[in-house]
Amino acid sequence: MENSDYLGIDGRQLQILLTIQKAGSLSGAARLLDMNQSTISYWLEQLRARTGDPLFVRAGNGVQPTERAKTLLPEAEAALRHLDAMFETPAYDPASDTGTLRIAATAVERTVLIKPLLQHALTQAPKLTFEIKRPGSLFQTVQNLQEGVLDFCFLPLDAAKGDGIMQRRLFSFRDVVYFDPIYPLPENDLDAFCARPHARIALGPDASFAIDQRLAKMKRKRNVVLQVPDFDSALTLIKGTEIIVTLPDVLSATGLECVNPPWRTETLDIGLCWHARSQTSARHSHWRQVLAEIAKT
């Protein structure tokens, strides 16, 4: 008798045990399970060896359970229910979510996505807490996703490279040049653009500056007099000064005006990023879809 070999019993064997009882015969169980009767007999023999009991004995044209089988059958049924519950996709109810969603977002995403997300959550998930963080550099942001420090972040499409990083396109924007209307900036004038004092944004310690790289290819450079860690600071600090700053056109810049940069502007696609560990999470899937719906508007 192999009582210690209980780990060799699987859900299919328990299902066969219950089906034999239901059908009243091995041939009937084979028909219900769409299996060969020889397969049913094989697994029944395995169970008999493990329990040290025949489990079913002949009775007329069928079989009937032994006393041992009668005690095992309800346990087998409960075990199958438990296995089913273990692997069933859990439902998600936003209204009962008392957790925290940690999202890295610049002023662009705060304007376009986070504010309407909060308005939605206040009615649909009133117990949920949002923790909005500065994104930092590309490397830092990807690392935070991988380490579980962040649930979501927003990055240029296909910019996030790293193990387990997943992405979905949300929206697009173009760069424009913001300035205080007291100090007008002519449009499409590269000389005027380079001559003015500039502010630039460094998102993290290893930030790169695409505008400087672009100007270098044109044998030009700009006069950077201010470097700040976020978009909001730049827009606030240039007011009342001659300083200009090149930023996305979706920002709220009260009191400032903007013109197109003195080069052909291209749209930049922004994607929602998350880690593969959350891909099948009902909770994460729900909020990814909410953000996607907000982005459509």
For residues 17 and 43, state if they share a domain. yes
Picking from 64, 87, 110, the residue at the C-terminal end of a domain is: 87
Whole-Å CA distances, 27 to 53, 66, 80, 167: 20, 18, 22, 52
- Domain annotation covers residue 118: yes
Backbone angles phi, psi at 235, to 5 degrees: -65, -35
For residues 61 and 118, state if they share a domain. no
Q: Say which DSSP state 110 is in.
A: I
What would the two tokens of residue 37 be?
A: 């009767």
For residues 146 and 260, state if they share a domain. no
Whole-Å CA distances, 285 to 112, 221, 272, 281, 290: 20, 45, 12, 6, 9
For residues 13 and 149, state if they share a domain. no
17 is in which domain, residue-wise? Answer: 6-87
For residues 77 and 33, state if they share a domain. yes
For residues 259 and 274, state if they share a domain. no
What would the two tokens of residue 292 be?
A: 């996607």
- Domain annotation covers residue 40: yes
Q: Beta strand pairing status for 62-65 and 165-173?
A: unpaired
- Domain annotation covers residue 1: no
For residues 245 and 275, state if they share a domain. no
Q: Beta strand pairing status for 165-173 and 152-156?
A: unpaired
For residues 37 and 150, state if they share a domain. no
Provide the number of structural domains found in the chain: 3
Residue whose C-alpha is closest to residue 106's, from 137, 130, 61, 83 = 137
For residues 215 and 153, state if they share a domain. no
**CATH number for the domain harbouring residue 147:** 3.40.190.10
Q: What is the pLDDT along the chain (297 residues), one digit of tens a residue?
A: 444 466 677 888 999 999 999 999 999 999 999 999 999 999 999 899 888 899 999 998 899 999 999 999 999 999 888 888 777 777 899 999 999 999 999 988 998 899 999 999 999 999 999 999 988 888 889 999 999 999 999 998 878 778 899 999 999 999 999 999 999 999 999 999 999 999 999 887 665 688 999 999 999 999 999 999 889 999 999 999 999 999 999 888 889 999 999 998 889 899 999 999 999 999 999 999 999 999 988
> Please, where are the H alpha helices in 7-54?
11-23, 26-33, 37-51
**CATH number for the domain harbouring residue 70:** 1.10.10.10
For residues 179 and 255, state if they share a domain. yes
